[in-house]
Amino acid sequence: MVRIKQRRVWAALLAVGAVTSLAATPAQAANNAWSADLSTVDGNDVNVAYAGGALSIQDTKSERKPGEGAQGYLFIGEHQLAKPANRVTAQVAGANAEVDVRGKLGAEDWTEWTPAGTTLPQTVSSVEVRVSLRGADAKVRDVKLSADQAPQVSSMAAAAASPGLTYKIYATREGLTGGTTANGHVITSRDHFVALPSGKPLSPKGTGNYSVRVCLTDNSRCEYAPVWDVGPWNERDDYWNPSSVRSMWKDLPQGKPEAYAANKEGYNGGKDDRGRRVPNPAGIDLADGVFWDGLKMSDNGYVNVTYLWTGSGPTGVVTTAGDPMNVRGSASTSGAVKGFAANYAKVNIECYVEGETVTGHFGTSNIWDRIGPGHYVSDTYLKTGSDLPVAPKCA
């Protein structure tokens, strides 16, 4: 086995987690209570500003998409809990704001974003907080948080099976070059990301904590890409989740987007969660690079989508100079190209094989990781936190 690879183990904190929470007093810490730091706004945050003792929308005329109204997000960094908990409750002093929480499961593994006050799928020792503002009048002066242990309920994580839940979904091309995604990314020509109709799996800018594998229905081409935007229709339709944790439309079958039910079956009067008539059944938006280059699609249509964070087992983060990397049908640079893996995409590693020696972002190695059925990428482009294979050898 050739192994000259020198892998730098990255810090456990995500880029968005570089901002720390406001320190709690000893009494607050003992009670798992703290106040969010609303005053520190940086490049990871989206269209918000802090002034006069309050957080508000920075550009009240800015809209990600026509008719959506001004929106903004403040991502508050990782907060270590005084004792493990599975629920974080928020008291918000202000208007037109919502608070979501996610729990840390591993070095770079997190639960989905969950509305404050809702039970997390697992007990955790640290959390991150996201404050969302909507509308020109949105303003938040204070957010007080407290964590406790609530009775456990059935969860998405318990229902998921490795390598992750997969559903056949109607996909549309997002376009919007030059616009800004929900996580603050400025969309470039032939970009590589996807949008899902819920903020629960929204990856902070420059990360791929929540990523998907999207494939043509014959699985001849696929792309692994991060979730960087919310849409195309609903904003609270985590349709991949079971009804026990699905935010809305709990009477719909798991895996059926509300947009599909509205467009095809007249569900909810044919309208989405904001009362707009739904002209197509889309449950995922594809950035142009995914649509045209990764999948080589020429028109909107059905694709197979695997929600990779619902899977289990070892993972790696695709790390390139920026462009997506080829996914090969064998452990060789001459192997058939099966699609792309976008930079930042977090992929599940099924097993590894020894193949062609490659020099990549993390050194030189002959190790190739299988990240899907017949899909191989060089381990030198995956950040796994280890110089050694993190998955078993393929049979």
Confidence label for 60 from pLDDT (cuts 50, 70 and 90): confident
Question: How does pLDDT run across 120-145, given as a tens digit for each residue?
Answer: 989 999 999 999 999 989 999 999 99
Question: How does pLDDT run across 37-46, given as a tens digit for each residue?
Answer: 999 999 889 9
pLDDT at residue number 69: 79
pLDDT at residue number 62: 79
> Is pLDDT at 327 greater than 90 in this prediction?
yes
Highest mean pLDDT among 17-21, 24-28, 275-279: 275-279
| Gap between the Cα atoms of 9 and 383, Å rounded | 8
Tokens of residue 85, six digits? 């908990």
Q: What stretches of the chain show up as alpha helix (H) in DSSP?
A: 26-30, 156-159, 258-265, 288
The number of beta carbons lying within 10 Å of the beta carbon of residue 226 is 31
Tokens of residue 78, six digits? 């990782």
pLDDT at residue number 163: 76
Beta-strand relationship, 337-341 and 222-230: parallel
Beta-strand relationship, 33-35 and 139-148: antiparallel
Beta-strand relationship, 211-216 and 222-230: antiparallel
Asked whether 330 and 376 are in contact (CB, 8 A), the reply is yes
| Gap between the Cα atoms of 354 and 221, Å rounded | 23
Residues 6+ apart with CB under 8 A from 68: none
The candidate with the shortest Cα–Cα distance to 378, out of 107, 106, 7, 13, is: 7
> Is pLDDT at 70 greater than 60 in this prediction?
yes
Tokens of residue 341, six digits? 């893996």
Confidence label for 14 from pLDDT (cuts 50, 70 and 90): very low
| Gap between the Cα atoms of 221 and 37, Å rounded | 44
Q: What is the overall mean pLDDT for the chain?
A: 89
Asked whether 394 and 355 are in contact (CB, 8 A), the reply is no
Where does residue 393 rank: exposed (0-12), middle (13-18), buried (19+ CB within 10 A)?
exposed
For the chain, give percent helix, strand, coil, nearest 5.
10, 40, 50
Beta-strand relationship, 222-230 and 194-196: parallel
Please work out, in degrees rounded to the nearest 5, the angle formed at the alpha carbon of residue 193 by the alpha carbons of 286 and 161: 90
Tokens of residue 359, six digits? 């020099």
